[in-house]
Structure 1
Amino acid sequence: MADLTVPLIVVAVLIVLAWLGMYLGWRARGRRQGALPAPPAVPVDLGPASLTAEVAYVATTLAEKPLERVVARGLGIRGKATVAVHPEGIVLAIRGTDPVFLAAERIESAGTGTFAIDRVVERDGLAVITWRLGDTLVDSYLRPLTGSAKQAIIAAARSLTPASVTSDTDIPERNDPSGIS
């Protein structure tokens, strides 16, 4: 037993250092993104939802940088969520956080994606909504819990965008995993 004490202490110290490094990195990223504004509060007078779907919220990243997670303002936590599309915009209610409102005029495009952060799925398995958080363009990645919900979410989000957004090729970087350099 005594011959295992030193290796156990070394392993315990390494585990504590790894957790400390992750914690400090998360806090530093949050500070760097501190200038990002909070998404607007969900309006109380929203029109009826044209679509409500349960999804797995994967991440929100800086646009065209699917490995740069946005952790500020409650967008950094992965979890189950509800997406509701209203005439005024999209309400993204991630369990355990305050709902996020993506105003219709802030939504730039919608399409599909294959990967974000540490989640890789089948080709085009994620719904991606590109929107403006203040002056910063971001992508929110959603994994619908049912097969038909992905296209319904994309179509409903596109109905809120300018008419020029019509195809999945509007977001090519999100569709091609070979695009990571």
Structure 2
Amino acid sequence: MRALLTLLMVALLVLTLLAMLRGWRYRARRQAAVMPGFFAPPATLGADLLPPLKGVYVGTVHAGDWHDRIAIGDIGYRAEATARLTAEGMYIDRVGASPLWIPAQTVRGARAARGLAGKAMGIKGVFVVTWALDENWLLDTGFRGDDRSVYPEWEAALQTMAPVSHGNTKQANDSERNSAR
């Protein structure tokens, strides 16, 4: 009887994991059908505005909804990473995954937040950059730096890249409130 119950539990666990994988793949296909492609990084990066920041790429979500993870390609996967900030934009070099490039002209804001992509990491534990993939897609990308004391410097530098007046202030504020929950 004990062996039968053990096999039943293992089978239930395997079915649950398969259902989760199927859901993740469906989400990625659905998003890929409606979202434009991500920006390709430039061949060479300019000089760093700040020292590179080592840490963990947390994920990218729709701005305003810290749980709505983007699942296209390998963008949805956490990875150790190094973030670099140049005058041209922010480059996130992810270990074991493709790099993520956020051009300067697409930046809409930056802030320290409590969490992103379903991961709560303490008060101001994640550095979040809000950026526009195009006029219809406003995204939040999260990075948890090993040294969180530099977040204010990164925020100030990225805020200078953001347009002075943009219509996404309310959405960025809503996003901050959602991540504080």
Q: Equivalents in 2 of 1:170, 1:32: separation in Å? A: 23
User: Counterpart of 1:37?
Assistant: 36
Which ranges in structure 1 are unaligned for 5 or more consecutive residues? none
* Runs (5+) with no aligned partner, structure 2: none
Instruction: Describe the superposition over 1:16-40 as per-residue Cα deviations: whole angstroms up to 9, x where unpaired.
Output: 1111011001101101111322222
Match of 1:149 in 2: 150
Counterpart residue type for residue 157 of structure 1:
L
- Structure 1 residues 159 and 170, CA, compared in 2 at 3 Å: closer, same or farther? farther
CA RMSD across the alignment: 2.3
**Deviation at residue 106 of structure 1 after TM alignment:** 0.9
- How far residue 101 of structure 1 moved from its aligned partner, in angstroms, is 1.1
Distance 1:169 1:82 in 2: 30
Partner secondary structure for residue 20 of structure 1? helix
Q: Normalized against structure 2, the TM-score is what?
A: 0.87
Q: Tell whether the 8 Å contact from 2:114 to 2:122 is kept in structure 1 after alignment.
A: yes
Q: 2:172 matched to which residue of 1?
A: 171
8 Å contact from structure 1 (residues 112, 171) kept in 2: no
- The percentage of counterpart residues that share the same residue type is 27
Q: CA deviation at 1:145?
A: 0.7
8 Å contact kept, 2:133–2:139: yes
The range that moved more, 108-117 or 83-92, is 108-117
The number of aligned residues is 176
Matched residue, 1:136 = 137
When the two structures are superposed, what TM-score results if normalisation uses the length of structure 1?
0.87
Equivalent positions of 1:27-176 (< 5 A) are 27-34=25-32, 35-51=34-50, 52-134=52-134, 135-163=136-164, 171-176=172-177
Is 2:28–2:72's contact at 8 Å kept on the other side of the alignment?
yes
